[in-house]
A and B are shown apart, each in its own frame.
Chain A
Amino acid sequence: MGIPRNYQTQAIVIKQSKFGEIDKILTFYTPELGKLRAVAKGICRPGSKLGGNVEPLTYSLMMLARGRNLDIVTQSQTMDGFLVLKSDLELMAYGLYILELIDSFTMENNVNRPLFDLLLDALHWLSQTNNNNEIVLRYFELHLLQHLGYRPELYRCVKCNLPLKPVVNFFSSSQGGMLCPHCSQKEYLPCPLSVDALKILRLWQNCDYVTARRVKVESKLSLELEQLLQEYIGYLLQRRPKSITWLEELKKMP
């Protein structure tokens, strides 16, 4: 049986890049096919049928036709445009950061259904009011790493394999987990992690989001968690995600 000429899929649009005068190449994440790239023809013309249905941060139902190199988006219907995110400067920045992480960590045609669900959930959590958005980001980062096979080891020292004691331990990005104070001495620039921060990470690693959001995280602890996860992510990607610069610029705004 051959591959059908036309197919349909749910998709969350991650990014667009210009292709020729009026076409664009879309990158999107799908539940059954993983990350895909496809051409959206004539999209820069006003009145294009695809128009607002394929902007980044949009959850759509897409019809695609097989092309020679890239497939072609023939129809698209928005299921959730995340308009709340698109009408708030901070929320949009958080959403774009999440999309950048998905884009940088995934390869094309690599199916990862739990990752798609996590992405969709995270965008919904951001859209809800009364949420601590820092928690959404940290929870997303932690579970993203988990779904990709980079789950950090938080219970035992990754070197000597002894259970960690309730003191300030250290996190090593290159080892992908915690080090006890003794083993960390030989490590190059390990990142110290307080007992409270480690407790929160352990809880978030194993609970669902509804439980995770109940945790009260004071600002100093929140900063510690943010720095740790971004350090680990930066190490894995071998670069700093670009949208972090924009998040920092926004924080500085009055």
Chain B
Amino acid sequence: MSFVAEPVARAIEELNKLPGIGPKSAQRLTYHLLRGSDEEAKALTEAILALKEKIRLCSVCFNITDRDHCLICQDKERDHSKICVVEKPSDILPLERTGRYKGVYHVLHGSISPAQGIGAEELKVKELLSRCQDGSVTEVIVATNPNVEGETTAMYLRRAVQPLGIRVSRLARGLPFGAELEYADDVTLGQALDQRQQF
């Protein structure tokens, strides 16, 4: 792109690396930033830099945070005897949005994937087990994804946690709201039947 000024070309190239942003969108964003005020550009730069400089993992649950204990782990109002295990930090957001869960979390940072050579040792499983051993935990809710890797992880956790005398539960699987029975797949529909509840 010799016909574009070097800083512009560089900005386009960097933006292009972001997920879901192609060359055209990168160009549009770059020219948008150019037209905008200095303050706007500065705010964006600082926000991006702060992400890398200040963010680290919570020493208890391994959620991303900017302090030693994340906001959820610090909250005294929450029920610390229940731990909800998720694969990645972004899985906490939808669970929090439901407003139904008042316990704490544990982020594994991945799921067991034999085909990629990822076993339990590559995840934060050991840390979860040591959290479970202090005697205050009564329930571990496994909220890994309902696919082959997530299911393997869930079964592994059940085998590791249950001997400690802690109840292990799994998110129910069934029909999403707004779905139609005719188009449901057999596995989901079968599990929705098995796990049906009194109405």
The verdict on B93 contacting chain A, using a C-beta distance below 8 Å, is no
Quick one: which of A50, A81, A97 contacts B114, CB cutoff 8 A? A97
The answer for the CA separation of A88 and B19 in the assembled complex, in Å, is 36
Interface contact A81-B115, CB-CB below 8 Å: no
B120 to chain A: which residues have CB within 8 Å?
249
Of B28-36, B44-52, B179-187, the segment with at least 4 beta carbons within 8 Å of chain A is: B179-187
For B178, give the chain A residue with the smallest CB separation. A47
* Distance from B155 Cβ to chain A, minimum over Cβ atoms (Å): 4
Which of A66-74, A114-122, A163-171, A238-246 interfaces with chain B? A238-246
Residue B84 at the chain A interface, CB threshold 8 Å? no
Residue among B116, B160, B178, B186 making CB contact with A78, cutoff 8 Å: B186
**Stretch from B1-9, B63-71, B134-142, B145-153 at the A interface:** B145-153
Closest chain A residue to B160 by CB distance? A253
B119 within 8 A of A: yes
A89 near B117 with CB under 8 A, answer: no
Of the candidate stretches A53-61, A134-142, A198-206, the one touching chain B is: A53-61
What is the CA–CA distance of A245 and B179 in the complex, to the nearest angstrom?
A: 40
CB–CB B151/A92 < 8 A: yes
Asked if A89 contacts B119 (CB within 8 A), the reply is no
| Interface hub of B152, B160, B186 (most chain A Cβ within 10 A) | B186
Report whether A21 and B114 are in contact in the complex, using a CB–CB cutoff of 8 Å.
no
The B contact surface, by secondary structure, is helix
Query: Are A89 and B176 in touch, CB under 8 angstroms?
Result: no
- Interchain CB contact under 8 A, B155 and A81: no
* A221 at interface by CB-CB < 8 Å: no
CB distance from B51 to the nearest CB of A (A): 20
- Shortest CB-to-CB span from B95 to chain A, Å, is 14
- The answer to whether B187 touches A92, judged by C-beta atoms less than 8 angstroms apart, is no
What is the CA–CA distance of A89 and B151 in the complex, to the nearest angstrom?
Answer: 9
B119 nearest in chain A by CB position: A249
The yes or no answer to A46 lying at the interface (CB within 8 A) is yes
Interface membership of A99, Cβ < 8 A: yes
CA A50 – CA B105 in complex, angstroms? Answer: 30
Q: Out of B148, B156, B190, which one reaches A57, CB within 8 Å?
A: B148
Please tell me if the beta carbons of A49 and B152 are within 8 angstroms of each other in the complex: no
Query: Which of the listed residues B115, B121, B151 has the most CB atoms from chain A within 10 Å of its own CB?
Result: B115
Of A52, A246, A253, which is within 8 A of B185 by CB? A52
Report B152-199 residues with CB < 8 Å from chain A CB.
Answer: 152, 155-156, 159-160, 163, 176, 178-179, 183, 185-188, 190
Known contacts A55-B148, A96-B148: A89-B185 contact under CB 8 Å: no
Encoded as 1 (CB less than 8 Å from any B CB) or 0, chain A from 94 to 106 comes to 0011011001000
Q: Which of B19, B159, B187 contacts A89 (CB 8 A)?
A: B159
Known: A47-B179, A57-B148, A86-B148. A100 touches B185 (CB 8 A): no
Interface check A35, CB cutoff 8 A: no
Q: Using an 8 Å CB-CB cutoff, how does the interface string of B117-128 with A read, 1 for contact, 0 for none? A: 101110000000
Taking the closest CB of chain A, its distance from the CB of B10, in whole angstroms, is: 25
Q: Which 10 A-B pairs have the closest CB atoms?
A: A52-B187, A246-B114, A243-B114, A242-B117, A52-B185, A89-B155, A47-B176, A46-B176, A53-B185, A96-B114
Interface pairs (29), CB distance under 8 Å: A15-B115, A20-B20, A21-B20, A46-B176, A47-B176, A47-B178, A47-B179, A49-B183, A51-B188, A52-B188, A53-B186, A55-B187, A57-B148, A78-B185, A78-B186, A86-B151, A87-B151, A88-B155, A89-B159, A92-B155, A93-B114, A93-B152, A96-B115, A96-B148, A96-B152, A245-B114, A249-B119, A249-B120, A253-B160
Q: Enumerate chain A interface residues (CB-CB to B < 8 A).
A: 15-16, 20-21, 46-47, 49-53, 55-57, 77-78, 81, 83, 86-89, 92-93, 96-97, 99-100, 103, 242-243, 245-247, 249, 253-254
